[in-house]
């Protein structure tokens, strides 16, 4: 199945959800991957993908390497293989690989094309679509980067067969995010169906990607509605930052972040307690963490201001409005936030 995404500037690309078919590129191609994915699936990829000149660059695995040094590794490989402006990068891995490959492509010789072949559930349902690329630094997550859309996204569910259970859960967290913020029916479907079943997960990927495509096509650069996709992320980013990106997978931090956002939404009267429990139960069904001990509430609060969505010293929160709808607001009182955080203290 194919989901098309058309951007405000009328460029468009296809997201294909299916087994990979044979593709040939009449250019130089560099595949960016990591040792884990490469060990499991590089041979499979090489059977499908061929090019005029194909080379592989393997970068270290993990969020802690999502930095400028690793970008330099990718760029140096490209320079040494004399990639030109018509060359192509292929992101072959999870969200970290996708974000970094996209960013490297956006700045190599002022921008070349790239495609996404996401191998984790999280990157298949969310990260690989939409053109957000970037790296972390000491100030926070994804604070340096670019909007650079891929030329295509190829989602092959076969890669999920080797995905560790925790990473599978992290992907489901982002699926839940899409449902809570935009689609009540989808949420109910998620409550009733087992996402470890292959046919179900394909449906869930399609539904998530369709939701994301619709949002991004309206607001590529996140000046409005796209911010809603950050539900759970405002809190989640602080959690990741406080734990040095080591304790939680991104999707897990988002899981906790959604629970926190729901607590705040409950406090300001946007959601019922019963609805917050339904979200929590759905997350826990897949063993996604839903609790976190905040060490210093004031410190946690200060961290919000490094978020890209914070403008004029106001924090932008994405809060569910019941299930299936949400509000984007920077009018939440500091006291309400602090009190909500204290409940996690």
255 is in an annotated binding site: no
16 is in an annotated binding site: no
Write down the least CB distance from residue 315 to a second copy, Å: 11
Write down the least CB distance from residue 96 to a second copy, Å: 16
341 is in an annotated binding site: no
Bridge partners for 51 per DSSP: 25
The residues annotated with a catalytic role in the active site are 110, 132, 174, 212, 222, 226, 230, 233, 237, 250
Tokens of 52: 């005029």
Bridge partners for 88 per DSSP: 29, 113
The phi and psi torsions of 309 (rounded to 5 degrees) equal -85, -5
User: Residue 130 or residue 257: which is nearer to a second copy going by CB?
Assistant: 130
Write down the least CB distance from residue 146 to a second copy, Å: 6
User: Residue 174 or residue 307: which is nearer to a second copy going by CB?
Assistant: 307
182 is in an annotated binding site: no
223 is in an annotated binding site: no
User: Residue 233 or residue 267: which is nearer to a second copy going by CB?
Assistant: 233
Cα dihedral: 66, 67, 72, 75 (round 10): 50
28 is in an annotated binding site: no
329 is in an annotated binding site: no
| Closest by CA position to 39, among listed 82, 92, 86 | 92
Write down the least CB distance from residue 110 to a second copy, Å: 5
Which 3 state secondary structure label does DSSP give 153? strand
User: Residue 142 or residue 290: which is nearer to a second copy going by CB?
Assistant: 142
Write down the least CB distance from residue 120 to a second copy, Å: 22
In this structure, the strands spanning 23-33 and 12-17 are unpaired
User: Computed over its alpha carbons, how large is the radius of gyration of the chain?
Assistant: 20
Bridge partners for 52 per DSSP: none
Instruction: State the number of CA atoms in the 13 A half-sphere of 171 facing the CB.
Output: 29
CB of 211 within 8 A of CB of 134? Answer: no
DSSP 225-282: GGGGGGTTHHHHHHHHHHTTTTSS-HHHHHHHHHHHHHHHHHHTTSS-HHHHHHHHHH
**For the purposes of burial, counting CB atoms within 10 Å of the CB of 169, is it exposed (0-12), middle (13-18) or buried (19 or more)?**
buried
Which residues of the chain form contacts with a second copy (CB under 8 A)?
Answer: 9, 68, 72, 75, 79, 82, 84-86, 106-111, 132-134, 137, 139, 142-147, 221, 305-306, 308-313
Answer left, alpha or beta for residue 109, where phi above 0 means left and psi between -120 and 50 means alpha.
Answer: left
User: Residue 48 or residue 314: which is nearer to a second copy going by CB?
Assistant: 314
Tokens of 34: 């990591």
Residues near 24 by beta carbon (within 8 Å), at least 6 away in sequence: 50, 51
CB of 118 within 8 A of CB of 156? Answer: no
Write down the least CB distance from residue 304 to a second copy, Å: 11
Annotated binding-site members: 61-66, 95-99, 119-120, 132, 141, 159-162, 174, 233, 250
Annotated binding-site members for Zn(2+): 174, 233, 250
């Amino acid at each position: 199945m194919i989901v098309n995404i058309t951007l405000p500037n009328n460029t468009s690309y296809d997201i294909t959800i299916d087994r990979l078919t044979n593709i040939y590129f009449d250019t130089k191609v560099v595949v960016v991957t990591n040792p884990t994915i490469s060990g499991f699936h590089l041979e499979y990829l090489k059977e499908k993908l061929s090019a005029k000149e194909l080379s592989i660059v393997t970068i270290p695995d993990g969020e802690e390497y999502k930095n400028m040094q690793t970008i330099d590794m990718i760029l140096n490989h490209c320079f040494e293989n004399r990639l030109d402006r018509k060359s192509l990068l292929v992101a072959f891995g999870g969200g970290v690989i996708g974000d970094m490959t996209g960013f490297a492509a956006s700045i190599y010789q002022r921008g070349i094309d790239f495609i996404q072949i996401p191998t984790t559930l999280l990157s298949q349902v969310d990260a690989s679509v939409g053109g957000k690329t970037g790296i972390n630094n000491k100030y926070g997550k994804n604070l340096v980067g670019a909007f650079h859309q891929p030329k295509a996204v190829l989602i092959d569910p076969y890669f999920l067969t080797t995905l560790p259970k925790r990473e599978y859960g992290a992907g489901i967290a982002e699926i839940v995010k899409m449902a809570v913020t935009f689609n009540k029916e989808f949420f109910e479907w998620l409550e009733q169906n087992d996402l470890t079943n292959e046919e179900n997960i394909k449906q869930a990927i399609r539904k998530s990607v369709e939701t994301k495509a619709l949002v991004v096509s309206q607001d590529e650069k996140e000046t409005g509605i796209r911010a809603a996709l950050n539900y759970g992320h405002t809190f989640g980013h602080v959690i990741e930052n406080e734990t040095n990106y080591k304790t939680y997978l991104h999707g897990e931090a988002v899981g906790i972040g959604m629970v926190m956002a729901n607590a705040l939404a409950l406090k300001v009267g946007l959601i019922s307690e019963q609805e917050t429990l339904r979200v929590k139960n759905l997350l826990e069904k897949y063993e996604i963490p839903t609790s976190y001990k905040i060490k210093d509430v004031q410190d946690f609060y200060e961290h919000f201001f490094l978020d890209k969505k914070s403008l004029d010293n106001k924090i932008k929160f994405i809060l569910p409005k019941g299930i299936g709808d949400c509000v984007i607001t920077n009018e939440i009182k500091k006291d309400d936030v602090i009190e909500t955080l204290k409940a996690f203290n």
